[in-house]
Amino acid sequence: MKGLTKRQREVLDFIQNYIEIHHFSPSYREIMKHFGFSSAGSVHKHISALKRKNAISNEKNCSRSVTPVDAPPHEKSSGAVNLPFIGRISSGMPIETFSQITTLAVPAILVPSSEQCYIFQISGDSLANDFIADGDLIIVEAKNNPEPGELVIALINNNETTIKRYFPEGLYIRLEAPHSNAMPITVRSDEIYVQGSVIGLMRMYK
């Protein structure tokens, strides 16, 4: 594309390559880290210049929606949906919600219904035995009637959040972590509130 400086072309190429690998666009922080910029303001300057030159497009106030204008159709933002990014979650700890909820663009193929799904970031390594690592992003479908064996986010006795496999057993619910030697948790059905089922995971490799 004509009219771009060398650095603008490099930023555009990085965005394009990132989308080809991850199937969603990079964040400002990731662009800043890749190029060694001193602040996110430098990224904003280059992104704004690329937008003025019609090299990229993005949705206002939406993270990870920057898309090269001439990207193949399957890589454009039309193949993504924007989900609320609620906060951080760790098994056994209260949910840490952000003061201002933002959105993230994720591949539409991962989301059955964008109106009922949202995103949490995993905090800590308590789910390592489930192959869910610190910093992973999980996609959650809000529902309180999961199928047996689904990985759910549940509130126990109104004060403890857990992420476990769900197995109803009459008046009781058995919650267990696969690939772990930890004993299952068994609670009465009236002592648990299922907030949603985990339906997808996104991981950023450093």
Angstrom distance (rounded) from CA 148 to CA 166: 6
Determine whether 114 is an active site residue.
Answer: no
- The one catalytic residue in 65, 90, 91, 164 is 164
- 185-188 and 117-122 beta bridge pairing: unpaired
Task: Answer whether 138's CB lies under 8 Å from 118's CB.
Answer: no
Sign of CA dihedral 150, 99, 204, 181: negative
| Site of tokens 């909820």 | 101
Q: How many CB atoms lie within 10 A of CB 81?
A: 19
- The one catalytic residue in 25, 63, 90, 126 is 126
H/E element, 16? helix 6-22
Angstrom distance (rounded) from CA 110 to CA 200: 6
Determine whether 78 is an active site residue.
Answer: no
| Site of tokens 């690329």 | 50
Catalytic residue numbers read: 126, 164
